[in-house]
A and B are shown apart, each in its own frame.
Chain A
Amino acid sequence: MSKAQHKPGLLTPELSARLAALQARAAEVADGLWGGSHRSAKQGASVVFVERRAYSPGDDPRLLDWRALARTDKPSLKRFEEEAELEVQLLLDRSASMAWRHDHHQTKLQHGALLLGALAFILSRQRDRVGLGFVDAGYEPVLPASAQPGQASTTLRELAAVEPVEGETDLSAALLAFADRSRRKALVVLASDLLDPLGIPQDAMRVLRARGHELRLLHVLDPAELNFPFDTPRRFHGLEGEADVEADARRVRAAYLEQVTRFLAEARDATLSAQTSYTLARTDARPEETLADALMQSPRAARRRAWA
């Protein structure tokens, strides 16, 4: 596991410029969401519906709404205010594969940082506790969850300064490490391309879920990874030490697209089985739309989809 290549508190001119750009863009995204174009966005991740929710196996029986049970003969829980205080952990995949772009202005890392930075803006306005961590071959906590006023800025600074880490990705180890270190249940938002040689960390996601965490996946991919726009013979070389591949792009395209389709389906299935919400975050898509889609997908809906 590599250390972050940023130095908190040391703002180089480049870093200041990146931070300013990220702040401005994240604020813009947050405003766009907060502006009411996505009703559910007002609820935010930590805004709890004051409502009853049905009892699910594993819930604390002490939280049962006995009156509702007597009335409806159906077990339900009151959503107490302490759920609105559920902390949010933002995890950013900073593996080398995230530092790639084809024709788009942003790398996947930058786009992921933008999405998480916008979320940090939104959550800080709601005085939710927001934490930040990086994943690559392992997990590195960056900012403990806090609702302090400067938490968003600090989060943005860290996101602006993040650099990709060389070496292979091991998301599974990273998520498991996160799960071991987290004492409190949290809403975990992971921005990653899931390009892990060990595969999609389905088991790790289940572990997170079993430990009470809510995981929302932002699957960050460049359009070129989805469409494979190349049409001439090339020598393709990976960013994480993979073996080179010499191929006629035109001849291999159909087979590659089949692999992409299968990969996306596996990712959806894995998140589904882990009761995790899944959102494809194309780097050429508007971040507001991506986050709106992500916020609309509630964990409850994810459970329903899983049980269905």
Chain B
Amino acid sequence: MGLSTPLALFGLLGLALPILAHFVRSRRLPEQSFPAMILLARADQAQRHRSALTDALLLLLRVLTIVALTLGLAGPRVPVTGRSAGAPEELVVVFDDSLSMTRDDGSATPVERAQAALRAELADLPADSQVSLIMAGEPAWVALPAGSAPSDVEAATHRRSRVRGGDFPKALELARRELASSAHRRRHALVLSDMARHSRASSVDWTALGVPVHFVDTAEAASAATNRRLTAADLTLDHDQASIRVTARGITTDTAVVVSSAGHVWTRGVLAAGAGESHVTLRVPLPEATLTPLEIALEGEDVIAADDHWPLWLRSREDVALLIVDGQPDPTGRRGEASFVTRALDAGRTVGAPSYRVVDEVALERLSPGDHAAVILAGALPTRRGALALRRFVMAGGGLWVAPSPQLAWRTSNSRLLGLLPARFGPARSTDEERPIVTEQAGLRSEDLVGTRAGPALTLSELSTRAHVWLRRGGPLMVEGPLGQGRVLMLGAPLGDRLGDLPFQPGYLPLVLRACERLVGAHASRGRIVAAGEVMHLPSEPTSTLRVESPGGALDGPGPEGRFRHTGGVGLYRVRDDEGARPELAFAVIPPHGEGDFTPGSTPDDISLPTTESGGAVPRSKPLAPWFYLFAGLLVAAEGVLRASRRSHGTRSAR
């Protein structure tokens, strides 16, 4: 036991007072003559004998009272052992609520095990600790900010999205942000995840948090049940039917697959058991309706039901959204800007890349507004008539992407496309940089340029609009500008292997896809597909009154710049506005990529940091002063009772 105010012990000197009062009775008393001294002497003797014990008890009570008060003032404290005795902590919890965490094989799900582990961690926290909660499903978000009470955490873990992939990089960033705003010096992190290989939790640099991190693998090796899952449904339209090539994984036994629409089964097939991917092609007749919802589903139940379904919009006519004007036709189809664009679009077929058609420069002269959603000049220079048609096309709402070839006559392009371009081409400049900078305001992301390298690029000057991609030393690389109802994209560098090596490194493929999507805009949303949890881009017209109907019937509007985030449910989404349905905007949400694969990944080792003076444990102690004060109060009460008893005994009458 320690004392916070040891000087208060000098109060024990006050013990002398009751002791002196008890034993030193040389008081100056008033004199009183009294004749019956015989009787008084006997009475006094009897009374002293009787009160000797009472006087001794009173002395003891007074002494103990002074001792108790003195010790209480001295501030006695006893150390509290254990972690709970330490100073308050800030705990940031990264909770993996992706789809794979919900697998139900009859035992507790990884989510339930994560919640149990979290409860145990919270119970061990010192008093006054605070917690923040990051849900790591895509997109990662802050369920509880820093400074929240531990009692709020468990309830927050139940507010999970329906179906999500994992987003640990974003979760890490959010965790850093919450830790930075913490009020406590002692901080640490807890990561709860099934640590599946697809989550890439171990590939995230958790040391960037700057605090100790504890990882909990909530998956059980014994329950690594195989999960059947659909991974692709490629739709191809023929004259009178649609072919759907279904791809699945985890098919350990022959499994039936059904294609249905509005409860009506159109056709069935069987996925043969096998390691790796399983395929089956199913054919359905083309319906009369412009837009028909289809659902492809595996029969039977397994540990995760969400990835046993694949939604698909079936359209009566496959509109060509993109018109690619090839300025360098290559018989081999391997070189040239057009070939690289088509390869990117082909690769993005399964994720809703727009359909396309490749033509030569002369075909532009016959272009009319509404024929397509956008035009890509892939190393092409239209004729004057073609340029005029192009201008009309864009002004009416179409999209234009000018992708120069290495041989582009930039001066001629400037003059031929005068009035179309949001910037002017300039002389080529020599650059060689990795991963140009992307301004993430047009739906483009820096991840879209992973693995790219920009080579020599034309200068883009006299900008009348914003740039989406920048070279660190070379100025803008991609710009966009409005023109009438449409928009025009300009790329300063060829799409060829200067920006990446197809097909080995899909460096610019995402960039191409998103650029095409942006160009296509309102026209390109037909047949679009996003994974659950991802953002669907819808038109961001100023007067837009778009509402999205989810599979469950909920109606939500898109956010700023047409970003629709409520993609937590797998299924088909319809879009409508005040004037009615917008079938061209309908899209499908498919299961998150890779979540159905439970292959365990590596659990990172816990990260321990050296205990510093500022972050070390501050031993805590419990104050005992209140108990001493309580004891003193009881002693005072006891003394009062004893004195009252003695007084009442003295006032009794003998008669």
Contacts and interface: CB of A to CB of B under 8 A. Distances in A.
Contact of B47 (A235, A255, A260): A255
Nearest to B652: A254
Given A233-B27, A252-B43, A238 B654 contact: no
B41 interface: yes
Contacts of A248: 650
B646 interface: yes
A245 B44 contact: yes
Interface string A229-260: 01011111111101101111011111111111
A252 B30 contact: no
B29 A251 contact: no
A236 B32 contact: yes
B42 interface: yes
A254 B39 CA distance: 12
A261 interface: yes
Interface in B1-58: 25, 27, 29-44, 46-47, 50-51
Give the size category of A's interface with B.
Answer: 35 or more
Interface residues of B, number: 31
B47 A251 contact: yes
B239 interface: no
A225 B34 CA distance: 8
B31 A234 contact: yes
A111 to B, nearest CB: 13
A97 B35 contact: yes
A195 B37 CA distance: 9
A270 to B, nearest CB: 15
A263 interface: yes
Interface in A137-181: none
B35 A255 contact: no
Nearest to B32: A234
Nearest to B653: A257
A239 B34 CA distance: 7
Contacts of A261: 654-655
Interface string A254-293: 1111111101000000000000000000000000000000
A263 B39 CA distance: 8
A193 interface: yes
B654 A254 contact: yes
A100 interface: yes
Contact of B44 (A96, A97, A193, A252): A252
B366 interface: no
A260 B291 CA distance: 121
Contacts of A235: 29-32
B14 to A, nearest CB: 24
Contacts of B33: 100, 236-239
B654 A232 contact: no
Contact of A255 (B30, B37, B43, B647): B43
B647 A250 contact: yes
Interface string A1-14: 00000000000000
B649 interface: yes
Contact of B34 (A197, A236, A251, A258): A236
Interface of B: 25, 27, 29-44, 46-47, 50-51, 646-647, 649-655
20 contacts: A96-B35, A97-B36, A222-B35, A225-B34, A233-B29, A234-B29, A235-B31, A236-B34, A238-B34, A238-B35, A239-B33, A242-B41, A246-B25, A246-B29, A252-B650, A257-B43, A257-B652, A257-B653, A259-B42, A261-B655
Interface of A: 96-98, 100, 108, 193, 195, 197, 222, 225, 230, 232-240, 242-243, 245-248, 250-261, 263
Closest 8 CB pairs of A and B: A257-B654, A238-B37, A97-B35, A256-B43, A255-B43, A242-B37, A259-B39, A255-B47
